[in-house]
Amino acid sequence: MKNILKRAGLALSVMSAVIMSSFNVYADGSANIAVPDSVSVGDSITVTVNVSCDSNIGTVAANLSYDETVLEFVSSDYASGGGGELVIPAAFPDSPTGDMSLDFSFKVIDEGEASLSVSGYVFDSEGTVIAELGASNTVSSGGEAVTQTEKETETETTTQTTPPEETKAPEQTTAEAVTQQTEPSVETVTAAPASGEETVKESESKADSTSASESSLDKDRNDLAKKLTIPLLIILATLIIALVIVTMWIRKKMKGKEK
């Protein structure tokens, strides 16, 4: 009976730590999301969430969000889910350590910028929160991947094609020559602003992407705190009631033995 009371007390302390963690900020750890530099449609890629703490990690509980229009979740030893949201209920390191890496396999299904973000908490072996996790990154997907067979076929076609015979251009009049020499100069002048506009648009797109990632991270943290608070309060109340019932039952048994 003493073991039952001890376990119930430990469970209550863990639940209390999780609830209190929703209202505190921890600085005892950090996290980052590692992604491939460049990918193409059809590629299978690995996304790694790296967690680092000053203390030994007991377990990691977190959520990983991703853009389901560009990435399709395949598998992971630590998470389950899909549709843009993965749940990591409890990831344990193989041995006592302050660093841990969680791998997730995805398939690239479309072109575009796929944002990823992780949020959650790190606990020590006693069930105490030692760090709050928060990180984001982006996977850039280009066109369809070129297979080795396609590359070899393209090389053979280029090798077998013979260059056309040179033909002598017809003589041009003085007016035609002046016109052809003038036209490229005009095209060069008008093309320059287009390049500048593309550069400005690209910079604005990158800035918008960075701002969207930061907003998504803040939103994920707030949503996680709201999702965890109410269920954990219910669990805590249930455990307290169970503890009271067990205590009353033990006292009743002890009084029966005394009689």
In a domain, 160, yes or no: no
Domains in the chain: how many in total? 1
pLDDT of residue 43: 96
In a domain, 178, yes or no: no
What would the pLDDT profile of 205-218 be if each residue is shown by its tens digit?
Answer: 666 666 666 666 66
- The CATH number for 207's domain is 2.60.40.680
In a domain, 247, yes or no: yes
What would the pLDDT profile of 76-95 be if each residue is shown by its tens digit?
Answer: 999 999 999 999 999 999 99
In a domain, 26, yes or no: yes
In a domain, 181, yes or no: no
Q: Are 53 and 123 in contact (CB under 8 A)?
A: no
In a domain, 19, yes or no: yes
Q: Which two tokens stand for residue 100?
A: 């841990």
What would the pLDDT profile of 121-148 be if each residue is shown by its tens digit?
Answer: 999 999 999 999 999 999 999 876 545 4
Give residue 97's domain range. 2-146+201-258
pLDDT of residue 198: 63
pLDDT of residue 176: 54
Q: What is the mean pLDDT of the chain?
A: 76
In a domain, 158, yes or no: no
In a domain, 192, yes or no: no
* Residues in the chain with pLDDT values less than 70: 1-27, 144-218, 225, 259
Strands (E), the chain: 29-34, 39-41, 44-53, 59-66, 71-75, 80-82, 85-91, 99-108, 112-123, 129-144
Which residues, in sequence order, are CB contacts of 40 under 8 Å at separation 6+? Answer: 108, 141, 142, 143, 144, 145, 146
What predicted TM-score, i.e. pTM, was given to this entire model? Answer: 0.49
